[in-house]
Copies of this chain bind each other. A is one copy, B any other.
Amino acid sequence: MQYFTDTDMGLDIGQVNMAVESAFADHGRGLVQMPPKLYVTLPDGDFRTMPAYLPSLAIAGVKIVNVHPGNPRKGLPTVMALTVILDIETGQPTAVINATRLTDMRTGAAGAVAGKYLSLKKEIVLGVVGTGRQAQAQVSAISRELNIRQIKIWGRDPEHIRKFADRFMEFPCLAPSLENTCDCDVLVTATSSRSPLIRSEWIHDGTHINAIGADAPGKEELDPALLNRAQVFVDDISQAIHSGEINVPISNGLYRPADIAGTLGEVVIGKKKRGGAETITIFDSTGLAIQDLAIAKIAMQHGKKTDLPFP
């Protein structure tokens, strides 16, 4: 068994996007095994357990990932992750992977795949709501699939906005009002909001939105009226109903599971298509274990590793 650390070092984002796209295609074709992730609540946060088997890559395993919003005060990341890989022939654990950075990258990759298939334009103004690691990973990954002409960034903390803009100096960056940030071609929402931040009337026809932040029951970023105006694609139906952007509106009766347009995997394989130029599309991302396996496969070719005795 090997322990892999620093697994994000030297990873090619384009390669990661492609691997994640391929995992979504397998998902769309029903070729993966992936029970909905399990949540366990801890005193100051939670952790999620995400097993899967991806036959096309001959990889199986489990990601374990926490969310503790108070961690930065203690000098730790909010989200930390470990992935355990099993040999598909024998079930033996073969690798343990530090997957903290990989989690950001694979979520970024899902947003990039959604943007590639659902954005009306290839040259875009990118609106970004939120300035954290997830928001940054979205920009990095999307920039490989679409040409970003301009970034509009909105966040609560001017210092975070400045750091964000510094990181993406290759793109013209503006920091307008939240409403103006929403006036864009592709919008990323990546906050930990528990009430709608984005009002429906701020979003013009044809916009594509990656709704990244809501990944647990009770979290939401978008006005439910916007969901009802738009075509909503999810990464996984049961996970999205339980913990995605649509979870709160569904539990309030403001959105119906039957209105989900399809999954991103179905879009990738051409089984589902976005509507015309007036259609607003939303990708509701909860994060799939198969994304973690796809990136783990690449990451195990990089990074430092330590041999550990097993069994």
A contacts, CB < 8 Å to B: 3, 5, 33, 35, 38-47, 49, 51-53, 60, 62, 64, 66-68, 71, 74, 76-77, 80, 82, 84, 86, 88-93, 96, 98, 100, 306, 308-311
Between A and B, 13 residue pairs with Cβ closer than 8 Å are: A5-B308, A33-B40, A35-B38, A42-B88, A44-B90, A47-B51, A47-B86, A51-B64, A66-B86, A66-B92, A68-B90, A68-B91, A80-B92
Given contacts A5-B308, A96-B96, contact A91 B47 (CB under 8 A): yes
Asked if residues B53 and A40 are in contact (CB atoms below 8 Å), the reply is: yes
Asked if residues A40 and B66 are in contact (CB atoms below 8 Å), the reply is: no
A78: nearest chain-B partner, CB-CB:
B91
Copies in the complex: 2
A34: nearest chain-B partner, CB-CB:
B40
Nearest first, the 5 closest Cβ-Cβ pairs linking A and B are A66-B91, A49-B51, A35-B38, A82-B93, A68-B91
Asked if residues B52 and A311 are in contact (CB atoms below 8 Å), the reply is: no
How many whole Å from A114's CB to the nearest CB in chain B?
A: 26
Asked if residues A90 and B76 are in contact (CB atoms below 8 Å), the reply is: yes
A188 to B88 Cα, complex, angstroms: 31
Residues of B within 8 A of A74 (CB): 90
A39 to B80 Cα, complex, angstroms: 24
A35: nearest chain-B partner, CB-CB:
B38
